[in-house]
Amino acid sequence: MNILKNIRKDVYFKRVCLITIISTFIFYSLAVLRHYLLQSNAYDLGLFDQWIWLTSKNLPSYSSMTGLHMFADHGAWTLYIPSLIYKIKPDLNILFFSQSVSLCFTAIPLYFLCKRKELNSKISLLITLFWLLQPVVFNINLFDFHPEVWSMPLIVLYYYFEPNKSFIKSVLLTFIILGTRDGLVLLIFGFGLEQMLKKKIGRSLTLISISITWFVFLNNWVYPLLNGDKGSVMALARYSRYGDSFSEIFLTLILKPHYVLSSIDLIDSLFYLLILFAPAFVFWKRISLITLTSAVPLIITNILSEASAQRTLIHQYSLPIAIIIVISVINGISENKDNFVSERKRFLWMILCWAALAKPLFFTGPYLNKLDSIKPAREAFSEIPVSANVITTSYLVPHLSQRQFIKFPTNINDINSDLKTYNILLLNPLDPGWASNSNVQNNYLEIAKKKNWECNKWENGLELCKK
């Protein structure tokens, strides 16, 4: 209460609020612009938009692209919240806005956490800037949509309430955090490890039990019930060299450490750790290492994965680690407030890391490579009925995803069955998009024409065929 009382008169807090609002506007605008420039994708924006739309229409919440149920994809029960908003206004810009707000407004609880650690207002302001200048924060805002971004302010609040008797509030927050993505069981498990290092055994066992219980509940009951044989195949595939099930993978990690170590791409992993920690390591103190324990399970999982995407600052996998890194900086500064690099050097280092590792210049390069496709795509969209079943390229899916049946072509073997189910083709063999190719799309179009589908072609290669 004292923090809340004093903060009303805090000029720097008002600056944090202003920065938060401005950054939200910038983040949201850039995300919308990227989508308009045809740079968004089926995975993951189109996928989440379709799931949420289906749920809002009381239709079965199974995506036609993956065959997976919305809740049984990553156990994200929080996706049911935007589905209620979609009942009123089904607009994927809502997802962009929620993502930008979650990322930017994380600065507010960070400022409160700084004040709880008795940091001065100027340093607290710089910490909020440090979060907003995390490369992965900027990058993930541009990478379609992922519900785990909603957990970022909640993770900070976990640390805000964690001391003393407020711990029960932290525990309650973990249930919401887990509801944004199943992979965050690793973070909650990490919270338990951190509490163990603090010699708070009761808290440690509570958090570890929560994480394990949720993991078992999803993988042993929810996923088999809703997805059948598919279960957690997609997640397991990334660790297939260690086993065919979670139990096999776990036993391999425990019993065959030499094999596990030999399977790791050492150079790739070291580079990942370098870019991940580069913005923060100059600020760490001894206590920071204890805080970083929370992120260790996530870091290990990313390093062990066969998917290199988990070892970048472009995708969502490193975002929870980034917030832990920022909190470790706060704890490091609070331990030794006097022995710290100058504010000017701090800010300069933040800017340099952001400039080197974020993607702002993509708007002058890769993001503009489909400018000639925007007008044809818009014309084609206007000719597609809302009730149509559509096969299109991955980057056009998010513009048409609010329907029960939509997919992008990946396999020639699916052509005959697809042309029975779907009545619209919107393809471009000259620019086939992710996971497709020119050969596949040409075959779809050729067979459709042989079946006397009505087709219209634009100069950029985009072709619309109707049954």
Burial class of residue 388 (count of CB atoms within 10 Å of its CB; 0-12, 13-18, 19+): middle
- 10-residue block means of pLDDT along the chain (467 residues)? 66 93 97 96 96 97 95 94 97 97 97 91 90 93 96 96 85 95 96 95 96 93 85 70 83 88 90 90 77 95 92 93 94 70 70 85 86 96 96 98 96 92 96 94 96 95 95
User: Rounded to two decimals, what is the model's pTM?
Assistant: 0.93
Burial class of residue 432 (count of CB atoms within 10 Å of its CB; 0-12, 13-18, 19+): buried
Within 10 angstroms of residue 180's Cβ, the number of other Cβ atoms is 24
pLDDT of 363 reads: 79
pLDDT of 285 reads: 73
Q: What sign results for the dihedral spanned by CA atoms 187, 103, 331, 168?
A: negative
Contact 245, 235 (CB under 8 A): no
pLDDT of 4 reads: 63
pLDDT of 213 reads: 96
Which of 248, 42, 16, 190 shows the shortest CA–CA distance to 112? 16
Would you say how long the chain is, in residues? 467
d(C-alpha 259, C-alpha 214), whole Å: 29
pLDDT of 183 reads: 93
- Residue for token pair 């810009």: 93
Pairing of strands 406-407, 390-392: parallel
Domain positions in the chain = 2-364, 370-466
Which of 371, 398, 375, 400 shows the shortest CA–CA distance to 387? 400
pLDDT of 233 reads: 55
pLDDT of 357 reads: 87
d(C-alpha 155, C-alpha 167), whole Å: 13
pLDDT of 234 reads: 60
